[in-house]
Amino acid sequence: MAQAQDVIIKVEDLSNSFGDQKVHEHLSIEVHRGEILGVVGGSGTGKSVLMRSIIGLQHPESGSVEVFGEPMIDRDENEAKWVRKRWGVLFQGGALFSTLTVAENVQVPLREYYPELAPQLLDEIAAYKVAMSGLGIEAGPKYPSELSGGMRKRAGLARALALDPELLFLDEPTAGLDPIGAANFDTLIKELKETLGLTVFLITHDLDTLYAICDRVAVLADRKVVAVGTIPELLALDHPWITEYFKGPRGRAAADAADREDAAHVEARG
């Protein structure tokens, strides 16, 4: 993945705390164009807080955040808006607007930024985005309360992709999905990344997702990013948490599964 190192997200010296509890201390991280960066860390290490700091929902105590080369902290709301429309965010529970149907949810960002679009084109765009996210055609007119957890996440993804973003933030996209649904979601993200040329910032606990789709993995521990790299690079490090994470029983199982998958691909091609 040694492409031209075009930096999309640059976080430097970020510190966050809630009351006495320090979540981040002088944390730095970079995300490059066209990669899927997986962010892992134990519960309470501030993965979601990091994402919220980058997208501007959490005001950090100190540090700088740049997205697409634009400083994001203390940015004027009107200017930030034009950066924001270049990214899409999938929240953990989907965060769909409950009074709108799935298709209308997809139309919300389109209506907000491009009010001049004709209603028919809006409907068409919403329709193909819904189909692209792997939701069946019957899902369009449904309300979020009528959907299962997995479908809600797909609908949230459809809305995140509404503006054809260059950058996608995913907060635990496979949490709470059954293994089949989770694997399908992984494939979907990888496909979308390849066809749409997305850069993906992905928070996850799911080892299978890490092995299956992430180009690089950043490990959050001790209030900062302790390591960034491909999984083999991380394994070469001698950090206790990383070792336990990837070499524990679940880590080994996921690695074996990834190996088998690769072998199957090679066989199929050969």
List of residues contacting other proteins (CB under 8 A): 98, 101, 103-104, 107, 110, 114, 116-118, 121, 123-132, 137-142, 145, 161, 163-164, 194-197
CB of 205 to other proteins, least distance (A): 21
CA distance 93 to 173: 9
Shortest distance (Å) from residue 136 CB to other proteins: 9
Of the two residues 42 and 141, which places its CB atom closer to other proteins in the complex? 141
What is the rounded CA–CA span in Å between residue 109 and residue 95?
14
Closest contact distance (angstroms) between CB of 129 and other proteins is 8
Q: Closer CB to other proteins, residue 129 or residue 153?
A: 129
Q: Which residue has the tokens 């966050």?
A: 16
CB of 235 to other proteins, least distance (A): 34
In sequence order, which ranges of the chain are alpha helices (DSSP H)?
Answer: 47-55, 77-84, 102-113, 119-132, 149-160, 179-196, 207-213, 231-236, 240-247, 249-269
Burial class (CB in 10 A: 0-12, 13-18, 19+), 239: middle
Shortest Cβ 74–other proteins spacing (Å): 27
Residues paired with 70 in a beta bridge: 67
Kind plus residue range of the DSSP H or E element containing 18: strand 7-18
DSSP string for 45-107: S-HHHHHHHHHTSS--SEEEEEETTEE-TT--HHHHHHHHTTEEEE-TT----TTS-HHHHHH
Q: Considering beta carbons, is residue 7 or 196 the nearer one to other proteins?
A: 196
| In the complex, minimum distance from the CB of residue 89 to other proteins, in angstroms, rounded to a whole number | 18
C-beta closer to other proteins: residue 127 or 235: 127
* Of residues 118 and 266, the one with the C-beta less far from other proteins: 118
Q: Which is nearer to other proteins, 122 or 221 (CB)?
A: 122
